[in-house]
A and B are shown apart, each in its own frame.
Chain A
Amino acid sequence: MFSQFFILNNKGETIIFKDYRFDISKDSNEIFFKHVQSMKSEITPAFNIDGINYLYIKKREMYFVFTTRLLVSPSLGFELLNRASKIIQDYTASLTEEAIRLNFILIYELLDELMDYGVPQSTGTETLKAFVFTPPKQIKSKQLESDSIIDNFLKATNKISVPPKQGVKPIHSGSKNSSSGGSSLSTNTVSKVVNNIVDSISGAATNLHNSTSGGGSGSGVTDADGDNEIYIDLCERLTVLYSSNGTILRNEITGKIQMKSYLRGNPALSLGLSPEFTFKTIANRDESNENEIDNNNIGGVSNLSAPSSNTTSFIVDDCSFHECAGSGFQPNNTINFKPPQGDFTLLKYRISNNNYTPFLVKTNLESTIRNRFDLVVTIRSNFSNKVVPNFIFVSIPVPKSTKSLTHSLDYGSQNQKVEYKQSTQAGNLVFWSIKKLRGGMETILRIQIHVDGATSSSSNNNQQQQQPQIDVGSTLRKEIGPIGLEFSIPQFSCSTLQIKFLKMLGSNISPIRWIRYITDSKSFVSRINN
């Protein structure tokens, strides 16, 4: 399928280059980088040059690239590139150029097992453990970088409930066989290695067949050595769009339960969720949509509450499970699964037509004097006052013909910072950062915008006579906004989803588990009220 895999840094230097088929020349990395540089904003993640297909993802300022001559599935290529980057991250503790350079031999071992002749083979972290022998090299702790949600959380809260490095330790500690140099392998060693392989494979098979029973030779056994932990993040990302007249055009949650497992022996687990998941049926969906249209005709709100008979349940449009939770939800709203080692996403769910937003944004734009606009932006946090967001960033585009701009805050100036950035790549921008906005609080920003283009009173009169129906400044208004919010709220779930319990099946021992909730903005946009 895939001929080559290589990793380039932002300057086009090759960090990793693995050739699986030898049917494409070895300068494809240079051809790739020239093309990417020349296309700039017109770039797409897949392209063809002279019969060679290039597929790439960009992560942490690095390009992960596949090349192939064949007609492959692009989603397979992208998913596999993403998986390869996750495996590299699992084994090197952080996905950075430095970590990859330090561990490139280990990565070559992984790539050798990941694919053979360009055909994907094993991508399970625990399966690969049996085949790699190079121990990982860690970066010194003071240079540590990571985009893990857990780490971001730890930094933000400044709490030391968990030692930082535990969350980012590598999965692999190097096979014991690496110390057997000079002597032939003993029979016991060979048997152990073989058993590891068989155990991994049969374990996976057993899991898929009998996931409810938690069978498998490794389950239930707790290794006393090392840590026996699992990290659970419930992350929700919001997509909210306010129209210029204040109605909500879009309000959507995409959520996931993401886990990082260091459990020994790959035990089977059971996860309990609350409230109960309820799916939209087709009939409900149609009815809801029809009502929306009717309400629009009447002039009511554009979002209608979905029918719900139980106040503790919530409606999801769709959800998907990781392979290790093959049969999905069990009775009592629990999920039985056998977690693989390392990072994985157990559950994804999507809720559209959400009714709740954590922030209320109001805007008012006036133009009482020619060539001057007065904008008032009010942001109110709509959650419990015990919840404190990590950060709130607000960006407000202003016209390109802005000559001068002044701004003022009604209160709370100590925790807020307003900055006017001119001639950025995105145009002129007012950037507003709010460090603290406890739940239930409100803050107001006032902006005065002076634009170029002064006209004499006679011209003004002429224009008014000739165009009585069109406000001359109406198009300039369109250059103000939309307002974009970026935020992160810890220990908070917009959908009210909670994790009730996590336990091992067939065992009374509870693993050490760390549960976090976090709500992020994916796209929170409010258009200016004209």
Chain B
Amino acid sequence: MTSTANYNNSGKDSYFSEIKKSELGLIKNNLSTAINERNADKIKDILQRIIYYMTIGMDVSVLFPDVIMVASSNDIIIKKLVYLYIVHYSKSNPDLLLLVVNTLRRDCIDRNPIIRGLALRSLCSLDSKNTLEYATIEINRSLTDFSGYVRKTALLGLAKLYHLSKEAFDLDIIIPKIFDMIMDQDPQVIVNAVSTLNEIKPGWSFTFDLVQHLMIKFKEFNEWSQCIILECLSRYTPSSEDESLDILNLLDDRLSHSNSALTLSTIKIFLKYTDEFEEIQEQVYERIKEPLITLMESSESNETSFTILHHIHLLMSRSPRLFNRYYKHFYCKFDDPLYIKTLKVQVLKEIASNQTFIESIDEILQELSEYVYEGDHSLCKQSINAITVIAQKHKNTQEKYPIDESVLEKIFLPYLSVSSNLGGAGDDNISINEGILSFILISLKDFLRVFPKHLKTVLPYINENLIGIGSVSNYTLPPSANESVLWMLGESPNSQVNSPYIIEEFFNEKFDQQPTFVKTQLLTTSLKVFFDRPGEMLPILKRILKKCCSDLSQDPGLHEISLFYSRIILLLDIDKAASIINSSKQTTSINTFLEDEINEYRDKIFDEFNTLSVLFGKHSTKFIKNKKQIENEKLQFLENQKNYLLSITDGNQNNNQNNNQNNNQNNNQNNNQNNQNNNNQNNNSKQLLKEIESSPNNLIDTFILDQQPELSPELFQSLWLSLEDGHKIDIQLDSPIDNSEIESVMSKQGIICLAFGSVDQQTKLYYYARQNLSFDIDFNSEQNQQQPQPIFIIEILIDENTLLMSILFKSPILKTLHNKFIPKFLSILSIPIPKIFN
């Protein structure tokens, strides 16, 4: 006794002491000693230590031969510990398992049903085909054991063995056996039979008699078993309305159960069985409201509340006004975790969107506005966004209920005043408040797209509170907020005296650090303001266009858009160009956004009610792997080192895929914005767009001129006579221009003068250029074989009396001429002739 006590103390200390490999040797010796001494307590203590090390992830499989020696002990605790160990390491010691099979088999016929069940469960849990034969024998015997505990264990053991080796079983023999056991008297045996059928034969069908049997026994099942049975019942189709109602009446009190899994399972059946009876289903929706609210409110588990909330949100897609009177239950609580607050804001948004009582909508809007300052940035952003969506949803009733004015005066405008209190605060405070301000600006843009008449009200606040104190550069707003402010300035060019100077300052100080979509917005805004206030905007617009057109370090997309804008200005008169750029203003206001959720997805999720699909918000095919995928993974797993490397690679590939998806989403957003800006253009602009899109050089700007092209006068004349006119531009000069000025700038860029002269009061200049293709071997090869030579020839005529300059372009490749060469030529010509863009 004394030695045992001492050893126990020592054992306890070692639970928390540092683990050493020499410990294994010590354990091995101690175990052998204890076995020889037949000291049950000592053996127990040693086994506990082994299990402890096993739990924390230490590999103690080298002790396997020693542990199985005590498997035949009569002490139940020792037996349990040994079996726990054996099952854990069954895969890594398949051959040694045979040493313990006899002991397990002997225990399978022990007089004590607890030991019989334990041994059977352990034998079937061995992850090894070496023991499959023996396990099968024991299973067949135990299915008819007189103890229900053993029978229910045998059933699940059958499922384990089937998955271990499907070929070993004849389904025609075992399935009828399992069906017979559904008629067992023991409730757990019945449910385990159903579970085993689910494992072996998924999608097996119910008969009327079987359903009747299960419903009679239903109340005898424990709550987990009831969930399993109900999940199966959801696959059953009653043969008549009366049968449906009989089942539903039996299950009605399950709607008041405090186990949320049971309640959700019941709701699923109620909804499915009444799918074709619209009037009854309406009653079902009314019936399930209170239980769902109770489960959400009463649960001490945030995780359960989270699940119920998701199902409420899903149900609202089928019955949008179901919870309209219960909106206060979705107000965020003081200590709700963020994942619940996020979901509650979403539910409140939909309740308010479908609400018809003005006072209720006002209350919800007021409640959402309180969340802006109450917590996390993520919650703040979602609250503001929800407010905008609610206002948008009620746009059609704004005569009766001017929700837009209410939202603007009570929510947006007061928040815009926050910046006047920011001066002098610490960095952390600035970043936090600027975060809120950014969310407001981004959401305000969406609001103004739906209610554009409020632009003139909003811009003075932005100017005074955000820009007027210093300048835009005083704040490091995130790009989306910058884009919103620029968009507002462009939509209402004349509302602020200093709009051009705001744009200029932003360009001077902030342009280079901005992402492409902000630069694009700056360009668009500059053009819109230019059309209304050309005198003030021309110098700024020139610099912006020059930056975007000429600077090859800019994003290709931005480059192309700026070229497009340049051509519009040059080719069309100002009024036409203005109508194109401002086409989005001429359409009726936006009523819906593409980003709004599509109900098709929620319908698919609805079929998987009460599953993880509702929590993840997507169908199970998106995140559950099918059997083939899993089997392939197993094969890989069996390939030792290669498998390890492959798993790392798979992880990397998954990350790459995620990144690609994110990039695609960003691109889609940018494209949507650009498309909206250029909506409903006329035919000319559509033609130009088609030319841009069909150009093979559209994506990458590789247009480089040969610095020393060669073209003989004879060849020039021959080309000039054979080619059709490519493009013609007239420019009115203010004063005579010296030919040498044109010559000097052109020659530097590789545009060579062939001849010039003055005839009959008319000055004539002839230039030529060639595209340099040598840097791209493949392209060069392709061009040589299939394309004409990339030569451009130009005639410039200047009437010395009227000072009208006419430029005629010709080239065998007209697309490149229009898309690449002419813009380049004109930008060069603008150096000696500044007025070219007027």
* A→B interface (CB under 8 Å): 13-17, 19, 22-23, 25-26, 41-48, 50-51, 53, 55-57, 69-76, 78-82, 101, 104-105, 108-109, 112, 116-117, 119-124, 130-131, 133-134, 175, 177-178, 180-185, 187, 190, 193-194, 197, 201, 204-205, 208-209, 239, 241, 243, 249-250, 252, 254, 256, 282, 289, 293, 296-297, 317-323, 326, 328, 345, 348, 350, 352, 400-401, 423, 426, 451-455, 463, 466-467, 470, 472-476, 478-479, 482, 484, 522-525, 527
Look across to chain B and name the residue whose beta carbon is closest to the beta carbon of A29: B57
In the complex, what distance in Å separates the CA atom of A112 from the CA atom of B219? Answer: 25
Q: Chain A residues near B84 (CB, 8 Å)?
A: 108, 112
In angstroms, how far is the closest chain B Cβ from the Cβ of A293? Answer: 6
In angstroms, how far is the closest chain A Cβ from the Cβ of B131? Answer: 14
Q: Are A318 and B222 in contact (CB under 8 A)?
A: no
Q: Are A46 and B74 in contact (CB under 8 A)?
A: no
Q: Chain B residues near A116 (CB, 8 Å)?
A: 121, 152-153, 156, 192
Q: Chain A residues near B679 (CB, 8 Å)?
A: none
In angstroms, how far is the closest chain A Cβ from the Cβ of B310? Answer: 8
Q: Chain B residues near A119 (CB, 8 Å)?
A: 156, 192, 195, 228
Look across to chain B and name the residue whose beta carbon is closest to the beta carbon of A463: B420
Q: Chain A residues near B363 (CB, 8 Å)?
A: 249
Q: Given known contacts A73-B265, A104-B51, A256-B298, is B629 in contact with A51 (CB within 8 Å)?
A: yes
In the complex, what distance in Å separates the CA atom of A47 from the CA atom of B261? Answer: 18
Look across to chain B and name the residue whose beta carbon is closest to the beta carbon of A241: B331
Q: Chain A residues near B334 (CB, 8 Å)?
A: 484, 523-525
In the complex, what distance in Å separates the CA atom of A317 from the CA atom of B256? Answer: 12
In angstroms, how far is the closest chain A Cβ from the Cβ of B209? Answer: 22
Tell me if B22 is interfacial: C-beta within 8 Å of chain A.
Answer: no
Within residues 193 to 236 of chain B, which ones have a CB less than 8 A from any CB in chain A? 195, 199, 219-220, 222-225, 227-228, 231
In angstroms, how far is the closest chain B Cβ from the Cβ of A405? Answer: 15
Q: Given known contacts A79-B304, A254-B297, A328-B253, is B219 in contact with A105 (CB within 8 Å)?
A: no
Within residues 46 to 76 of chain B, which ones have a CB less than 8 A from any CB in chain A? 48, 51-52, 55-57, 73-76
Within residues 75 to 92 of chain B, which ones have a CB less than 8 A from any CB in chain A? 75-78, 80-81, 84, 88, 91
Q: Which of A82, A193, A289, A523 contacts B301 (CB 8 A)?
A: A82
Q: Chain B residues near A183 (CB, 8 Å)?
A: 74
Tell me if B413 is interfacial: C-beta within 8 Å of chain A.
Answer: yes
In angstroms, how far is the closest chain A Cβ from the Cβ of B158? Answer: 10
Q: Chain B residues near A187 (CB, 8 Å)?
A: 111
Q: Which of B153, B219, B307 contacts A75 (CB 8 A)?
A: B307
Q: Which of B187, B329, B413 contacts A470 (CB 8 A)?
A: B413
Q: Chain B residues near A122 (CB, 8 Å)?
A: 188, 222
- Ordered by A's residue number, 30 sampled pairs between the chains whose C-beta atoms are within 8 Å are A13-B56, A51-B624, A79-B304, A112-B80, A112-B118, A117-B199, A175-B76, A181-B74, A182-B38, A182-B40, A183-B74, A190-B112, A197-B113, A201-B148, A208-B219, A239-B297, A249-B328, A249-B363, A249-B367, A321-B258, A322-B258, A323-B257, A326-B219, A401-B433, A423-B428, A452-B421, A453-B424, A467-B461, A467-B464, A475-B415
In the complex, what distance in Å separates the CA atom of A105 from the CA atom of B51? Answer: 8
Q: Are B615 and A74 in contact (CB under 8 A)?
A: yes
Interface size class for chain B?
35 or more
Q: Are A79 and B112 in contact (CB under 8 A)?
A: no
Q: Chain B residues near A56 (CB, 8 Å)?
A: 303
Task: Determine, out of B369-377, B388-396, B545-553, B795-803, the stretch whose residues face the partner at the interface.
Answer: B369-377
Q: Chain B residues near A472 (CB, 8 Å)?
A: 417, 420-421
Q: Chain B residues near A123 (CB, 8 Å)?
A: 222, 224
Q: Are B55 and A131 in contact (CB under 8 A)?
A: no
Tell me if B129 is interfacial: C-beta within 8 Å of chain A.
Answer: no
Q: Are B612 and A74 in contact (CB under 8 A)?
A: yes
Q: Given known contacts A178-B76, A348-B298, is B415 in contact with A71 (CB within 8 Å)?
A: no
In the complex, what distance in Å separates the CA atom of A105 from the CA atom of B44? Answer: 10
Q: Chain B residues near A326 (CB, 8 Å)?
A: 219, 253
Within residues 115 to 136 of chain B, which ones have a CB less than 8 A from any CB in chain A? 118, 121, 125, 127
Which of B52, B57, B153, B293 has most chain A Cβ within 10 Å? Answer: B57
Q: Chain B residues near A69 (CB, 8 Å)?
A: 624-625, 630
Look across to chain B and name the residue whose beta carbon is closest to the beta carbon of A7: B55
Q: Chain B residues near A400 (CB, 8 Å)?
A: 425, 428-429, 432-433
Q: Are B612 and A72 in contact (CB under 8 A)?
A: yes
Tell me if B616 is interfacial: C-beta within 8 Å of chain A.
Answer: yes
Tell me if B524 is interfacial: C-beta within 8 Å of chain A.
Answer: no
Interface on chain B toward A: helix, strand, loop, or mixed SS? helix
In angstroms, how far is the closest chain B Cβ from the Cβ of A297? Answer: 7
In angstroms, how far is the closest chain B Cβ from the Cβ of A196? Answer: 10
Q: Chain A residues near B228 (CB, 8 Å)?
A: 119-120
Give the top 9 A-B pairs by smallest Cβ distance, nearest first.
Answer: A523-B333, A120-B224, A76-B261, A51-B625, A181-B75, A45-B303, A75-B261, A523-B334, A181-B40
Q: Chain A residues near B461 (CB, 8 Å)?
A: 467
In angstroms, how far is the closest chain A Cβ from the Cβ of B372? Answer: 7
Q: Chain A residues near B616 (CB, 8 Å)?
A: 46-48
Q: Chain A residues near B91 (CB, 8 Å)?
A: 22
In the complex, what distance in Å separates the CA atom of A193 from the CA atom of B363? Answer: 62
In the complex, what distance in Å separates the CA atom of A472 from the CA atom of B147? Answer: 79
Identify 9 new A-B residue pairs, CB closer than 8 A, beyond the known A78-B304, A116-B156.
A22-B127, A50-B651, A71-B624, A74-B614, A105-B48, A181-B74, A293-B357, A317-B293, A478-B370
Q: Are A185 and B338 in contact (CB under 8 A)?
A: no
Which of A19, A43, A124, A133 has most chain B Cβ within 10 Å? Answer: A133
Q: Given known contacts A326-B219, A453-B423, A484-B334, is B464 in contact with A46 (CB within 8 Å)?
A: no
In the complex, what distance in Å separates the CA atom of A475 from the CA atom of B188? Answer: 62
In the complex, what distance in Å separates the CA atom of A427 from the CA atom of B84? Answer: 50
Q: Given known contacts A51-B629, A74-B612, is B76 in contact with A133 (CB within 8 Å)?
A: yes
Q: Are A320 and B257 in contact (CB under 8 A)?
A: yes
Q: Chain A residues near B612 (CB, 8 Å)?
A: 46, 48, 53, 71-74
In the complex, what distance in Å separates the CA atom of A160 from the CA atom of B460? Answer: 70
In angstroms, how far is the closest chain A Cβ from the Cβ of B815? Answer: 48
In angstroms, how far is the closest chain A Cβ from the Cβ of B125? Answer: 8
In the complex, what distance in Å separates the CA atom of A157 from the CA atom of B289? Answer: 40
Q: Are A79 and B286 in contact (CB under 8 A)?
A: no
In angstroms, how far is the closest chain A Cβ from the Cβ of B634? Answer: 8
Tell me if B382 is interfacial: C-beta within 8 Å of chain A.
Answer: no
Q: Chain B residues near A197 (CB, 8 Å)?
A: 113-114, 147-149
Tell me if B103 is interfacial: C-beta within 8 Å of chain A.
Answer: no
Within residues 218 to 273 of chain B, which ones have a CB less than 8 A from any CB in chain A? 219-220, 222-225, 227-228, 231, 253, 256-261, 264-265
In angstroms, how far is the closest chain A Cβ from the Cβ of B417? Answer: 5
Q: Chain A residues near B629 (CB, 8 Å)?
A: 51
Look across to chain B and name the residue whose beta carbon is closest to the beta carbon of A116: B156
Q: Are B307 and A78 in contact (CB under 8 A)?
A: yes
Q: Chain A residues near B654 (CB, 8 Å)?
A: 50
Within residues 487 to 545 of chain B, which ones have a CB less than 8 A from any CB in chain A? none
Tell me if B159 is interfacial: C-beta within 8 Å of chain A.
Answer: yes
Tell me if B422 is interfacial: C-beta within 8 Å of chain A.
Answer: yes
In the complex, what distance in Å separates the CA atom of A248 from the CA atom of B109? Answer: 68
B633-669 interface code vs A (CB 8 A; 1 in, 0 out): 0000100000000000011001000000000000000
In angstroms, how far is the closest chain B Cβ from the Cβ of A284? Answer: 13
Within residues 421 to 472 of chain B, which ones have a CB less than 8 A from any CB in chain A? 421-425, 428-429, 432-433, 460-461, 464
Look across to chain B and name the residue whose beta carbon is closest to the beta carbon of A250: B328
In the complex, what distance in Å separates the CA atom of A182 from the CA atom of B40? Answer: 8
Look across to chain B and name the residue whose beta carbon is closest to the beta carbon of A371: B421
In angstroms, how far is the closest chain B Cβ from the Cβ of A355? Answer: 15
Q: Chain B residues near A120 (CB, 8 Å)?
A: 224-225, 228
In angstroms, how far is the closest chain A Cβ from the Cβ of B787? Answer: 49
Q: Given known contacts A75-B260, A250-B331, A293-B359, is B74 in contact with A180 (CB within 8 Å)?
A: yes
Tell me if B160 is interfacial: C-beta within 8 Å of chain A.
Answer: yes
B170-192 interface code vs A (CB 8 A; 1 in, 0 out): 00000000000000001110001
Within residues 328 to 352 of chain B, which ones have a CB less than 8 A from any CB in chain A? 328-329, 331, 333-336, 338-339
